[in-house]
Amino acid sequence: MKILVTGVRGQLGHDVVEELTRRGIDAVGVDIEEMDVTDKDSVDSVVRGAAPDAVIHCAAYTAVDAAEENEELCRRVNADGPRNIAGVCRELDIKMLQVSTDYVFDGRGDNFWRPEDECHPQSVYGQTKYEGELAVQNTLEKYFIVRIAWSFGVNGKNFVKTMLNLAKTHDTIRVVDDQVGSPTYTFDLARLLVDMVLTDRYGIYHATNEGICSWYDFACAIFEEAGVDVKVIPVSTEEYAAKAPRPANSRLDKEKLTENGFEKLPPWRDALKRFLLQLNA
User: What amino acid positions are annotated as catalytic residues?
Assistant: 125
Cα separation, 47 vs 53, in Å, equals 10
Q: What share of the chain is helix, strand, coil (3-state, %, to 5)?
A: 45, 20, 35
Whether the Cβ atoms of residue 15 and residue 189 lie closer than 8 Å to each other: yes
- Which amino acid is it at 202? Y
Cα separation, 170 vs 152, in Å, equals 22
HSE-CB for 281 with a 13 A CA cutoff: 7
Element (H, E) at 71: helix 71-75
Cα separation, 90 vs 131, in Å, equals 18
Instruction: Output DSSP code: residue 104.
Output: G
In angstroms, the Cα distances linking 198 to 88, 156, 188 are: 19, 26, 16
How many CB atoms neighbour CB 259 within 10 A?
A: 10
